[in-house]
Structure 1
Amino acid sequence: MSNILKFLDLFAGAGGLSEGFIRAGFEPVAHVEADASACYTLKTRQAFHWLNKNNKSNIYTDYLNNKITRDELYEAVPQNEINSVINKFIDKETLPEIFQELDNILNNEKIDLIIGGPPCQAYSLIGRARGNMVNDARNHLYIYYAEFLKRYSPKYFVFENVLGLLTAKDPNGHLYFDKMKALFVEIGYTIEYKVLSANEYGVLQNRKRIILVGKKDHLSDDSFYPEPEKWNPEVNVWELFADLPKIQAGGGTPAPQKYVRYKSEWLEKSGIKGKFPLTWHQARPHSEQDLEIYRFAVNLWNGEKRRLHYNDLPSRLKSHKGTDSFVDRFKIVAGDLPATHTVVAHISKDGHHYIHPDIEQNRSITPREAARIQTFPDDYYFENVSGKPARTSAFKQIGNAVPVLLAQKIAEQLLRNWE
C-alpha cells in the first residue's frame, strides 16, 4: 500500500496548482476540467511525468521535436494516466457522470486531498466592471465543489480564487464568500484562509489570491493553515528573459529552441529551467502602429521610470475613442523591477498589457515568457484540441493558471503539517 498522499484537482485548468502539488510529493488521481485544450495539456503532462519517472523521457523529447504524434505519445504510457483527465463542466447534470468516472478510476482507493478553484470571472472585480455577473452560473460552482467533499471526504481541501470573492454578492446582497464558508463548515470542515501574494514566495509576479484551506473534523483550536515558506530570490524580472533567444514580433516557434548561454540560480532553483528544451517561444505579429506605441512605452519607462498613460500618446497613435477608461492598456513588463504585474487570461486577446522590456526586440511577450512569469517549467507544453499549436489557447491557459511555485510552497507546508 503506497504512503503517497493522493489528490483530486477540480476546475484544473492547465494544471498550475496540480504541478506544484506533484512537485511537493503528492500524486494526482484525476483532474476535472471543462476546457478541452487544457485537458490535452493535462494529458500531455501526465504522460511527461510517467515517462520521466520510468526513465523513458526520450519519448517526450521525441514528441516535442515532432518525431511522434500526440496519439503515439499517449500510447506510450498506461491508459489510466490519460483517462484520469475528465473533460466535463461541473454542474448539476454532469455530477453523476463525473462521480461514476471517478469511482471507476479510484477503484475503492481513498482521496486524501481535493484542490482547485472555480473559474474566477464571476467574482473578479474586472469581470464585474465589464458586465452583470450577479446572475452568472459560475457564482454557484462552489456548491458543486462541496458535493465532491461530501462524497469523498478528504482530510484537507485547498480552494484558490481571486480577491474579488471577498466582496462579490448575490442578488439579495449576501456575500458569496460567507455562504461558501458556511457550507463548508456545515459538511464538517474547519476553514482557514489568507490572502497570499505570489511575489513573497519566489515568483516574480505581483499576484494576490485567496487560498482557503479546509480540514475535516479538526477538533483542536490550533491553526492548521499551511503558511508557505517565504523566499526573496533577490533578482529582477530581466532574469525571466536572460537566457531566451532574442526574437522580433512575429518571430520564434512553438517547437523546441536552444537557450542562450546564461547561468541563473533562480531559474534552476524555481524549477523553471530543466534538462528539456524550451517550447512556445513564439511572438505575436504586430501592426506598425502598435510597434511604435511599444517603443514609446519602453522609452518612457527607461527614461523616466513612468508607465504609459494612453493620453500621453501623440494623437496620430490614438485609435481608441475612450480616453478615460483602461488608460493603462499599453504596459511594459518592466525588467528592472523585482516582480511584474499580474498575468491574466486577457493576454490571449492581445499583448498590449505585456510589452517586452527589450526595445531591440520590440514586441509583446511570448507564451513561454508568460509561462515563466507563472513559474511553469520550460518543458511544460500547452496543447490545443486540434493537435496543432495555437498561441491564443496557450496564452489563455497560462493566464488562468496558479503560479506553480506558489502552489508548490503551499503543498510543501501542507505536507509538513499533515498528521
Structure 2
Amino acid sequence: MNFIDLFSGAGGLSEGFIRAGFTPIAHVELDKAACNTLITRTAYHHLKETENLQPYLDYIQNKITRTELYSLIPENQKETVINMSIGSQNNQIIFDKINSLKGEKPIDLIIGGPPCQAYSVVGRSRDENRMQGDSRNYLFKEYARFLEYYQPKYFVFENVIGLLSAKTKNGDSYLQMMLDLFEDKGYYTEYKVLEAKNFGVLQNRKRVILIGKKNGEKGFYPEFDTVQTNVTVSEIFMDLPELKAGTGNFYKSKYKSYRGNYLFQSQIRNGLDFTTQHIARPHTEQDKGIYRLAVEKWENGQQRLNYNDIPEKWQTHKNKKSFVDRFKVVAGDLPHSQTVVAHICKDGHYYIHPDINQNRSLTPREAARLQTFPDDFYFEGVSEKPSRTAAFKQIGNAVPPLMAESIAYKLKEIILND
C-alpha cells in the first residue's frame, strides 16, 4: 500500500508506516534540513533492502561524504523528497512531481499534519495576536486539496491537543472547520487524543490523531492496546557514554554494557554496536549552577525547581509568574519524561540530564531516544556540516516512530478487512 507524507518533517510518522509495510511515494516538506534527513533515511532503507548497508554506516561515521552516499541511491528515490511549501502557488507542481513518481499506482493513504505552532496553547499564549493572523492556521485546507486530488482510502492527520480549543477571531472552532471540510471532500473523520506513553514511548506526549475514511461511516476508529513497559526513563541513558557539557561526538559513540530489554523491544537499538549525535551543548557556569540546583532538588524528595527559587544573581527573566518551571530535570526515576518539543533547539533548560556529575542538558541522541527514533537514524543540517540545532528542532517536531508504527498496523488491518 502506498502513501504520501505531507508536512513530513524528519519522517517520524513515515518511519512507523514504512515499518508496517507501507511504501512512501513522496514526502513533501518545506524545511531543507528535514528534507536532507529524509533523503538520508531513504538511502538507509534503499541500501538495507539491497543488503548493502555498509556505505550508510560509513557515512554516519564520517568515513564518506553525503554526496558519496547520495550517489548510491537511484535518482527517482531521491526525488521522492519534495522540498516545497504546500499551497496554491506550488500544489500543481507538487501534484505533477508525485504523479511522475507514482505512475499507475494508487495512493492508498495520506499522512501528516501541518505545523502545530498555530494551534498550540503555548504558541497562542506567547503570541500577542494569539496566532489569529497566522497563515498556518489554514494549512488544513491545502491538506484537503490533496485528499480531493488523490482520493486515498484513508488519511491520518496529527496535531497538538491545542487544536481542540483553537478558535478563529469569530469564535469558530478550527477542528470543526476541518471536520466539515474533510466531509465535504468525501471523508468521514473521527479523532481521539492518543498518548505516546500508551504505545511504549517513555514520554508524556498527547496528540490529536484524526483518521478519515473515504465514504466512511461512524465507528471505524481503531482501538489500541496499551503497552506496559515496566521501566523508567533511566533506561534511555543506561548504555550511552557519560558526557560533560560541551563534549561528545556527532559521529561514532560506542555503547556501554546494557543488560536490559527495552531498547531492543522498542527498536531503538537495532543491531549496531554504536550510535551517533551524542554530543552535549556547552553551558555557561551560571546555567550549570542552575542545573545542579534542579537535580539536587529532584534527588531530595522529587521536587521541581521553581524559577523563583533560583538565586537572584542567576535570574535573567523579569517574568516570575508564568513558565516558572523553565528549568526541569528529565527524571530518570519516573516512568515517562516531559514532552520533547521543538523549543529544545533553542536551549536545554527544560531537558536537564538527571546525572548531577554530567551536569548538562540532553544530547540530540538522548532526545531522539525519548521519541523512539532508532539509534541509526541520522538527523541532517542544511549543509554537509552536522547541526545540533537542526537535529533538536526535527526531533522535537516529530511523531514517535513506535507510536506511528502501531497506528500504521491498525490501519493496515482495517484496509485489508475493507
TM-score range, shorter chain: over 0.9
Instruction: Name the amino acid aligned to 1:126.
Output: V
The root-mean-square deviation of aligned C-alpha atoms, in Å, is: 0.9
Residue of structure 2 equivalent to 1:261: 257
Alpha-carbon distance between aligned partners in 1 of 2:222 and 2:8, rounded to the nearest angstrom: 21
Q: Deviation digits for residues 106-161 of structure 1, max 9, x if unmatched?
A: 11211100000000000000110111211100000000000000110000000000
Corresponding residue number in structure 1 for 2:145: 147
SS in structure 2 of the partner of residue 129 of structure 1: helix
Q: Could you list the runs of 5+ residues in structure 1 that have no partner in the other structure?
A: none
In 1, Cα distance between equivalents of 2:391 and 2:113: 20
Report what 1:39 is aligned to. Answer: 35
- Give the alignment partner of residue 369 of structure 2, picking from 368, 372, 387: 372
Cα distance in 2 for partners of 1:370, 1:157 equals 28
Greater than 6 Å deviation, 4+ residue runs:
none
Partner of 1:332: 329
Counterpart pick for 2:345 among 342, 345, 348: 348
Measure how far apart 1:41 and its partner are.
Answer: 0.1
Distance 2:268 2:103 in 1: 35
1:197-212 → structure 2 map (5 Å cutoff): 197-212=195-210
Match of 2:60 in 1: 64
Aligned partner of 1:234 among 226, 230, 235: 230
Q: Does 1:169 align with 2:138?
A: no
Aligned residue in 1 for 2:399:
402
SS in 1 for 2:118: coil
Structure 1 residue corresponding to 2:302, chosen from 287, 297, 305: 305
Aligned-partner Cα distance in 1 for 2:326–2:294? 11
Distance in 1 between residues matched to 2:221 and 2:193, nearest whole Å:
12
CA distance in 2, matches of 1:242, 1:145: 41
**1:251 and 2:247 equivalent?**
yes
- How far apart, CA to CA, are the structure 2 residues paired with 1:65 and 1:368? 14
Q: CA deviation at 1:226?
A: 2.6
Partner of 2:50: 54
Number of equivalent positions: 413
Aligned-partner residue type, residue 226 of structure 1: P
Letter paired with 1:152 = Y
Q: Which residue identity does 1:159 align to in structure 2?
A: F
Say if 1:227 and 1:410, in contact at 8 Å, map to a contact too: no
- 1:392 and 1:208 map into 2 onto residues whose CA distance is 24
Counterpart pick for 1:392 among 389, 401, 418:
389
Q: Does 1:30 align with 2:22?
A: no
Report the TM-score when normalising by structure 2.
Answer: 0.97
Does structure 1 residue 6 correspond to structure 2 residue 2?
Answer: yes
Q: Which amino acid aligns with 1:29?
A: I
Give the Å deviation of 1:203: 0.3
More moved, 166-175 vs 141-150: 166-175
Q: How much has 1:69 moved relative to structure 2? A: 1.0
3-state SS of paired residue (2:119): coil
Q: Which amino acid is the alignment partner of residue 318 of structure 1?
A: Q
CA distance in 2: counterparts of 1:145 and 1:32, whole angstroms: 11
Q: Deviations over 1:274-318 (max 9, x none)?
A: 123311100000000110110100000001211000111122222
Which residue in 2 is equivalent to 1:100? 96
Bigger shift: residues 101-110 or 195-204: 101-110
Distance 1:397 1:306 in 2: 30
CA contact (8 A) 1:229 1:409 kept: no
Where do 5+ consecutive residues of structure 2 fail to align? none
In 1: Cα distance, 2:62 partner to 2:298 partner: 40
**One-letter amino acid matched to 1:195:** V
Q: Which residue of 1 aligns with 2:72?
A: 76
In 2, the alpha carbon distance for the partners of 1:229 and 1:216 equals 25
Does the 8 Å contact 1:233/1:266 carry over to 2? yes
Matched AA of 1:7: F
Q: What is the CA distance between 1:265 and its match in structure 2?
A: 0.9
2:280 pairs, out of 279, 283, 293, with 283
Per-residue deviation, 1:216: 0.5
Distance 1:263 1:114 in 2: 39
SS of the residue corresponding to residue 254 of structure 2 reads coil
Single out whichever of 310-319 and 261-270 deviates more from structure 2: 310-319
- Structure 1 CA distance for aligned equivalents of residues 370 and 243 of structure 2: 18
Per the alignment, residue 273 of structure 1 pairs with: 269
- Tell me which residue corresponds to 1:112: 108
1:231 alignment partner AA? V
C-alpha distance after superposition, 1:395-419 (max 9, x if no partner): 0000000111110111111112222
Q: CA deviation at 1:80?
A: 1.2
Deviation at 1:257, TM superposition (A): 1.0
Distance in structure 2 (CA, Å) of the matches to 1:413 and 1:29: 20
Give the secondary structure class of the aligned counterpart of 1:211. strand
Aligned to 2:181: 183
Aligned AA for 1:165? L
> Letter of the aligned partner of 1:213 in structure 2?
I
Report the Cα offset of residue 247 of structure 1: 0.6
SS in 1 for 2:44: helix
Q: Is the 8 A contact 1:229 1:413 kept in 2?
A: no
- The alignment partner of 2:28 has SS state of strand
TM-superposed deviation, 1:171? 2.1
